[in-house]
Amino acid sequence: MASMRTKKLPADIGILLLSVLLVCLPHLLRLPLWISTLCLSLIVWRFLHETGRAPLPGKYLRLFMLLASLGGLFASYSTLLGRTAGSAMLLLMLCLKLLEIKGHRDVVIIIYISFFILITSFLFDQSIYSGAYMLLLVLSLLSAMIVYNHPTTQQKPLAPALRQTAGLAFSLMLQAVPLMLMLFLLFPRLPGPLWSLPEEPQGGSTGLADELEPGRISNLSDNHAVAFRVKFEAPPPGQELLYWRGPVLSLFTGRKWKVLRDDSVSRLNLDDIRFSIPRDYTITLEPHNRHWLFALEMPGTIPANAYLTQDLQLLQTRPVANVTRYKMRAYLAYQLDANSIVNRHYYLQVPEHVAPRTRRFVNRLREQYAQDGRFINSILNYFREQNFIYTRKPPRLDGDTVDEFLFSSRRGYCVHYASSFAVMMRLAGIPARIVSGYQGGEMNPLSDYMIVRQSDAHAWVELWLPGKGWLRIDPTSVIPDSRVEATQDLLRRKDDRSRAAFNLKQGWFSKSLSKMRFAWDSLNNRWNNWVIGYNDKRQQSLLSSLGADNLSIYHLALLLGIAFSISLLFITLFVFRRRQSRFNPVQQAYAQFCHKLSGCGFVRKPEETAQDYARRVIELRQDLHSSVDTITQLYNHLRYARKPSSRLILQFRKKIKHFHPRKTE
């Protein structure tokens, strides 16, 4: 075993390895373990090689590693295309390339692939964090580019080299920012994709699911992530009216409620809704990788690229994979399908063997209350008066979920109440369906928008009564506050004033903490509105607020060109600004004097003193004798005098200014 001499990490490869490591980091947790491990070990390998502790692999080993990792990728993803597999492949190629850096070109390839990987990572995450991380990575990659174009820094130790190049990269970035903003705001945005994208199986959807199973998931998560943010045109309606409609679950299998997937349902137009005062608002929806959009009940408009199903679910044609902004109009008082119901049998079906005890209970009550309204009230009273408890941690229900909940456990959250209520309605012959979505919302006190969180998720019931149409009933709301076991849910039921009273009771620490949370949230909101959600519509509205309506793409390009040129002009003036010379005015003026004489063929040699230079000039040019002599004497005096008078300096500079030697030849 040959012992290798260890050495210090050279600055250029050090910065490059650091950049590659930064490129890989955010992907490491997302990728399969073997890819993450391989990437990290390739970086470490190169590091060990550069510090003289390991040899590089030969050509055949490299080829083998390349083929093996391609095979591994194919085994993991069963494709090499698409954003997930594609970005994993790029990452592996990048790290493999580290083992064969031969010259400048390989470095350039590594840096450019890194930029490419950076941009693919935005397909997965566009948060503020990833924007900030982008800046850090660009800084580091620029440093690598600088160090590879500057041989002097390459010879320095890593830390000072990094400081120097990163400083320069930072100032370059600062100068590029105004141009970037111009481009971002004014570059013509196209409304749709250039070519249709393949529908990929979406990884990890968040938020609501398209089925509910009351007995299964025993704990409701306390997820405070933001589902969407709402900006109302007018003061928002009260909490009790904020029902954000999402997926509608009409199919009951006995344990689960499912979304009715009926492609034959016609797209409804909204004439069926009888109107009250319209409420206008804009929703900025966080991506959840499903099709549905949320809207206040009942929606009166349909956003672009979306449609409304028969059961009034608002669906987008493509899954919501990016932050999506849409304007909506809602009618809080409405009457829907008052005189007719389509597919009535869907909303009445309950599987035969399900809930035998509930059946008997419903039949008994139904005999007592034949009229629909009174029957419904009696059921709600049952919930209100019996010992039903609202909890986020209900017991698991292993038997018949409806019977077990209604007659033995009596502990549950919205899904349990909605499910058992809807089943009872159906058994009594009243068409019913479950609507899931969000209820309520919290105004950001530091700004003017409402935050709706995942923890606001809710489920309620819609009944159809002849002549009245579909009515919303929220069985959970009848449980009295004394039997609610979760403070946050209790709070949600209250109006804003009692909420404020509750907040007053909090200590200064939790108060400032919640203030910080709201500040952070409004930053996120701005980020969503101005960065992620900035699109063709937003661009048009920005321009029309500046007084330019309906610009064609050519006019927009022209505007961009003009704005870009003007900013570039200012940056150029900044970059080429004259520096104040460290040389004092005397020396500067003397340099000017030498320059004038060099025009006559007398170039001052670096080793020549002012006296020698003057002698040389005078020898050949008697006509300049007096002026050259005075200037030189003045110069020597001013340069070596302890405190030269400013009058003399002025005189000296004036003399040089008026010194115009004639060219003889």
Partner 1 sequence: MRPRVFFDSLRPGRFFHGDAPVANAINLSRRNIYILPSRDGLFFAVVLILMLIGSINYNNSLGYLLCFLLGSLSIVTILHTYKNLYRLEITMGEIKPVFCAQDLHIPLTINNLGGPARRALRFDFPDGEIPAIHDIAADTQANIMLRCKTHRRGVMKLERLRISCRFPLGLFQTWSILNFVQTALVYPHPADADRLPPEHSEQGHGDGCQGQGSGDFTGLRNYHPGDSLRHIHWKALAKGQGLLSKQFAGENTRELWLDWRSLPQLDSEARLSQLTRWVVDAHKNGIAYGLWIPGTEITPDRGGAHRHHCLRLLAEFGLAEAD
Q: Which of 21, 66, 166, 179 binds partner 1 (CB under 8 A)?
A: 179
Is 414 considered catalytic here? yes
3-state secondary structure of 213: coil
Does 663 sit near partner 1 (CB under 8 A)?
no
Name the residue nearer to partner 1 (CB basis): 142 or 242.
142
Name the residue nearer to partner 1 (CB basis): 170 or 659.
170
Range list of β-strands (E), 466-507: 469-473
Does 166 sit near partner 1 (CB under 8 A)?
no
Is 474 considered catalytic here? yes
3-state secondary structure of 246: strand
| Tokens standing for residue 448 | 């003017």
Does 148 sit near partner 1 (CB under 8 A)?
yes
**Residues 390 to 449 in contact with partner 1, rule: CB under 8 A:** none
Name the residue nearer to partner 1 (CB basis): 581 or 611.
581
Closest CA to 540 of 186, 21, 171: 186
CA torsion through residues 268, 269, 270, 273, sign: negative
- Write down the catalytic residue from 24, 49, 414, 456: 414
**Residues 601 to 630 in contact with partner 1, rule: CB under 8 A:** 601, 603, 605-606
Distances (CA, A) of 80 to 87, 92, 122: 9, 12, 19
Q: Which of 66, 270, 338, 571 binds partner 1 (CB under 8 A)?
A: 571
Name the residue nearer to partner 1 (CB basis): 271 or 607.
607
Residues in CB range of 91: below 8 A, 6 or more apart: 23, 24, 27, 31, 35, 39, 117
Choose one: 6-14, 129-137, 441-449, 541-549; the region binding partner 1 (CB under 8 A).
Answer: 129-137
| Tokens standing for residue 169 | 């990269």
Is 39 considered catalytic here? no
Cα Rg of the chain (Å, integer): 37
Q: Which of 77, 116, 518, 659 binds partner 1 (CB under 8 A)?
A: 116
Does 176 sit near partner 1 (CB under 8 A)?
yes
Helix axes 104-121, 82-97, angle to 10 degrees: 150
Choose one: 188-196, 218-226, 241-249, 494-502; the region binding partner 1 (CB under 8 A).
Answer: 188-196
Distance CA 402, CA 661 (A): 109
**Residues 345 to 374 in contact with partner 1, rule: CB under 8 A:** none
Lookup result for tokens 């830390």: 159
Binding characters for partner 1, 264-293, by CB under 8 A (x = yes): ------------------------------
Q: End-to-end alpha-carbon separation of the chain, Å? A: 75
3-state secondary structure of 308: strand
Least distance (Å) between residue 533 CB and partner 1: 7
Choose one: 175-183, 347-355, 510-518, 542-550; the region binding partner 1 (CB under 8 A).
Answer: 175-183
Do 317 and 305 contact (CB within 8 A), yes or no?
A: yes
Does 195 sit near partner 1 (CB under 8 A)?
yes
Does 123 sit near partner 1 (CB under 8 A)?
yes
Do 229 and 451 contact (CB within 8 A), yes or no?
A: yes
Name the residue nearer to partner 1 (CB basis): 183 or 270.
183
Binding characters for partner 1, 504-533, by CB under 8 A (x = yes): ---------------------------xxx
Would you give the distance in Å from CA 622 to the centre of its chain? Answer: 77
Lookup result for tokens 């509750």: 502
Q: Which of 29, 194, 277, 546 binds partner 1 (CB under 8 A)?
A: 194
Choose one: 11-19, 189-197, 221-229, 541-549; the region binding partner 1 (CB under 8 A).
Answer: 189-197
Name the residue nearer to partner 1 (CB basis): 535 or 636.
535
Do 559 and 186 contact (CB within 8 A), yes or no?
A: yes
Do 337 and 464 contact (CB within 8 A), yes or no?
A: yes
CA torsion through residues 185, 191, 196, 199, sign: positive
Does 155 sit near partner 1 (CB under 8 A)?
no
Q: Which of 599, 633, 639, 650 binds partner 1 (CB under 8 A)?
A: 599
Name the residue nearer to partner 1 (CB basis): 199 or 271.
199
Q: Which of 76, 130, 391, 630 binds partner 1 (CB under 8 A)?
A: 130
Q: Which of 501, 583, 641, 645 binds partner 1 (CB under 8 A)?
A: 583
**Residues 320 to 339 in contact with partner 1, rule: CB under 8 A:** 322
Distances (CA, A) of 251 to 19, 87, 211, 303: 53, 39, 9, 27
Contacts of 535-538 with CB under 8 Å at 24 or more apart are 535/189, 535/191, 535/325, 536/189, 536/190, 536/191, 538/325
Q: Which of 58, 151, 198, 235 binds partner 1 (CB under 8 A)?
A: 151
Helix axes 82-97, 59-77, angle to 10 degrees: 160
Enzyme catalytic residues: 414, 458, 474
Q: In the complex, which residues of this chain contact partner 1 (CB under 8 A)?
A: 108, 112, 115-116, 118-120, 122-123, 126, 130-131, 134, 138, 142, 145-146, 148-152, 168, 172-173, 175-180, 183-184, 187, 189-190, 193-195, 197, 322, 531-535, 568, 571-572, 575-576, 578-579, 581-583, 587-588, 591, 595, 598-599, 601, 603, 605-606
